[in-house]
């Protein structure tokens, strides 16, 4: 199955309007069997490319997931990365910053977890929380102990967008490819998933009362996401708005995006020079004896 991931991409300088982007599509597969076969193919290819990425040891990949609650971030990460060697992949989740993290610049706590060469790093939420959640709740910004002359809420967001764009450009120049995925779930679908978490005992642990409080700010969150994606989606580090009302479609689209991104890298397995080849031949003869 081939999915054109470009249709979900936010182009550089594009003005994002989430109401114009779908939260659901016509199902990409006609049956569960077809879905499992398609996802299995994607996962196998991702596994092979990840092995090449590890062996080539020149590039790294950072995948950022952002979304409203219950959009399926954990599910997408679990299914899409199921075949990737754990030695070459690390998932980092970011929640409320600690006191130590608040005593540094807003990029500090995530910078420490960037993937090394040959690795895939996955951020479940990221530094984008600082221009989304903090923008929706300005009282958080006012508690971050910035110098007085920098506490201008009318200009701080554009400055943070610039910091993020510069940071991602720096990563690109040093071999880290950044892919940012916004799982675009509808408010109605979020409601259904919340109710499922309440009704099914084995899912009760997933329900957080605080999520209901955040739901009241839906419109503000959509505006904050539109603004940050419009300002920070670039040719080198693009945003993708992925429909998330159907988790199966979401997983297939996300895996295609990662396949396309890694497939563009000029990678090869390390070769040996003539002297090293001769040395291996000598060692093989010793083993034969």
Comparing 155 with 24, the larger pLDDT belongs to 24
Neighbour tally for 224: CB within 10 Å? 19
Q: The pTM is what?
A: 0.93
Comparing 217 with 95, the larger pLDDT belongs to 217
- Percent of the chain clearing pLDDT 70 (strictly above): 100
Interval 161-188 mean pLDDT: 98
Mean pLDDT, rounded, of the chain:
93
Question: Residue 153 pLDDT more than 80?
Answer: no
Interval 189-209 mean pLDDT: 90
Strand partners, 91: 122
Query: In this predicted structure, what is the pLDDT of residue 32?
Result: 93
Highest mean pLDDT among 77-86, 138-147, 237-246: 237-246
| C-alpha pair distances (Å), 194 with each of 212, 244, 247 | 9, 15, 15
Comparing 2 with 175, the larger pLDDT belongs to 175
Question: Residue 143 pLDDT more than 70?
Answer: yes
Question: Residue 170 pLDDT more than 90?
Answer: yes
Q: Output the CA angle 232-134-233, nearest 5 degrees.
A: 10
The Cα 101–Cα 117 span in angstroms is 25
Segments making up each domain of the chain, as ranges:
5-288
| C-alpha pair distances (Å), 174 with each of 52, 159, 265, 278 | 18, 23, 14, 34
> Looking at 84-224, which runs of residues are DSSP E strands?
89-93, 120-124, 176-184
| C-alpha pair distances (Å), 86 with each of 71, 75, 158, 161, 196 | 24, 17, 37, 32, 31
Question: Residue 289 pLDDT more than 90?
Answer: no
For the chain, the maximum distance between any two Cα atoms, rounded to a whole number of angstroms, is: 77
Residues 257-266 have pLDDT tens digits of 999 999 999 9
Report the CATH architecture of 5-288: 3-Layer(aba) Sandwich (3.40)
Query: In this predicted structure, what is the pLDDT of residue 1?
Result: 67
Question: Residue 252 pLDDT more than 80?
Answer: yes
Interval 72-78 mean pLDDT: 95
Give the pLDDT band (50/70/90) at residue 271: confident
């Amino acid at each position: 199955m081939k999915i054109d991931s470009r249709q979900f991409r936010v182009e550089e300088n594009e003005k994002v309007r989430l109401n114009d982007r779908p939260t659901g599509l016509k199902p990409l597969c006609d049956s569960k069997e077809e879905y499992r076969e398609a996802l299995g193919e994607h996962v196998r290819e991702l596994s092979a490319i990840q092995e090449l990425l590890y062996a080539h040891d020149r590039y790294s990949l950072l995948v950022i997931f952002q979304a409203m609650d219950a959009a399926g971030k954990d599910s997408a990460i679990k299914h899409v990365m199921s075949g990737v060697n754990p030695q070459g992949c690390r998932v980092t989740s970011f929640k409320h910053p600690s006191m130590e993290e608040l005593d540094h610049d807003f990029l500090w706590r995530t910078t420490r977890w960037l993937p090394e060469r040959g690795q895939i790093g996955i951020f479940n939420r990221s530094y984008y929380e600082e221009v989304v959640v903090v923008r929706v709740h300005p009282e958080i910004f006012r508690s971050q102990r910035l110098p007085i002359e920098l506490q201008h809420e009318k200009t701080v967001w554009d400055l943070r967008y610039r910091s993020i764009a510069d940071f991602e450009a720096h990563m690109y120049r040093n071999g880290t490819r950044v892919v940012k995925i916004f799982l675009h779930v509808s408010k109605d679908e979020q409601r259904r998933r919340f109710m499922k978490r309440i009704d099914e005992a084995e899912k009760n642990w997933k329900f957080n009362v605080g999520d209901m409080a955040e739901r009241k700010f839906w419109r503000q969150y959509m505006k904050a996401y539109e603004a940050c994606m419009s300002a920070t989606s670039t040719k080198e580090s693009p945003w993708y708005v992925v429909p998330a009302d159907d988790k199966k479609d979401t997983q297939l689209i996300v895996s295609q995006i990662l396949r396309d991104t890694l497939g563009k890298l000029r990678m090869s397995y390390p070769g040996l020079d003539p002297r090293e080849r001769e040395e291996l031949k000598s060692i093989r003869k010793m083993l034969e004896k």
